[in-house]
A and B are shown apart, each in its own frame.
Chain A
């Protein structure tokens, strides 16, 4: 099949992860992966983002598929159940808002900037080598550290399920995918599940 420009978006996803090792402020770019799928689902009522443009999905497909770093086994039943998908969505967003709250505390001057990236909501990795000051408020940098943690955590989870199950197993419980599908369902109630 003929390759289109959007078949190369995995390069952007890879670049994003790498840039975060050099200057944490690049983490802000990750907001694109939040807003574009939402805007597409709300405005057009489709999951075109997942279907075509998701660079992360392509990256997992490449590493797990082409490079063969995947057992290619079925995901367990519970992982595709509604309660797990919606539960993970709620948990992910709760953690996201906790991160926003911590950012707010720095903006409000109630807390110092923490130059660390939190992995899997638990492990604080020192990340000061990717911070070279900011022209803006330290809160801007705090959001970058926090958001990069969100992106890195989801990538690590995706890589683990890629190895254990199918290359794009992340797509089964990806919070953005679950949310855009919910929006699409709400917008197109006639389509029976």
Chain B
């Protein structure tokens, strides 16, 4: 049986690459790729939602995925 895990996902189209999410991530799971978008490592992400709450553009969403 597959486990359900919570992960953060970025709406790449609207990400402004400000880096607010990077600062609050307790797992150091987020990086800003070359000033274009935020990239979340699905392996490191524990789905805590801190980044989603912090994001000024509100473009990060926590979704449940099978892992």
Contacts and interface: CB of A to CB of B under 8 A. Distances in A.
B58 A74 contact: yes
Contacts of A80: 14, 16, 57-59
B17 A184 contact: yes
Given A50-B17, A171-B57, 20 more contacts: A51-B17, A85-B16, A166-B56, A168-B18, A168-B56, A169-B56, A170-B56, A171-B18, A171-B20, A171-B56, A177-B18, A178-B16, A181-B16, A181-B17, A183-B35, A184-B35, A184-B36, A188-B36, A193-B12, A193-B13
A161 B54 CA distance: 15
A167 interface: yes
User: Is chain A's binding surface mostly helix, strand, loop or mixed?
Assistant: helix
Contacts, number: 88
A137 B13 CA distance: 47
Interface residues of B, number: 24
Contacts of A191: 33-34, 36-37
Given A188-B35, A192-B12, A47 B17 contact: yes
A102 interface: no
B51 interface: no
